[in-house]
Amino acid sequence: MEKEEKALAKLREQAMEPLAGVLKRVEQAYTAYVAAEKEVARVYKTNEQQVEQSYKEAEQQANITCEQAIERAAKTREVAEQQAEEVYRKAKEHAKKTYDKSVQQVLRVRREKIEQAWQAFNSEFERMWSIYTKDILHKVYQEPEKIEGAEFLMPLSGSTDPVLAELWDNADDAYYDNL
């Protein structure tokens, strides 16, 4: 039995050897798995940090680009406003010149029309006065009796008015007769 026990122990040893090898390999595999899991976690963490860094850089670049675009837009707006103000100033000047020219022209036309109206008035007045005086004076001198109240139109003289004759026909007034 001793032999059998030895054989059995040997068999156990032989059976244990493969099991111990398997166990050892399982432990090594588990250790490798844990190490791989740690490596995956480390790589994941590194990747996460790189992605976060990339995001921050992209955000920073977007902010810089945005600020530059806003500055360019502000400069463009400023230039456009200056140009618009210049165009407005020129348009205002042109409008003022046009206004002044129009006013001068209207005033000139007004002055000419007033002058023409005055000339027409004077011409008509002279024509009417000529007709009136010719007709009236003819009647006054030729036929004064036909004009009622025409005595006031008669020339003032000492022969037509006895009061004037008395005032004018005296020694003090003789001087004026010689004039």
Which of these, 141, 164, 165, lies nearest to 153 by C-alpha position?
141
Residues 46-98 have pLDDT tens digits of 999 999 999 999 999 999 999 999 999 999 999 999 999 999 999 999 999 99
Eight-class DSSP state of 143: -
For the chain, the domains span: 2-147, 148-179
DSSP-derived secondary structure for 11-48: HHHHHHHHHHHHHHHHHHHHHHHHHHHHHHHHHHHHHH
Residues 5-39 have pLDDT tens digits of 777 666 666 655 666 676 788 888 889 889 989 99
Residue 19 tokens read as 């099991």
Residue 59 tokens read as 């955000």
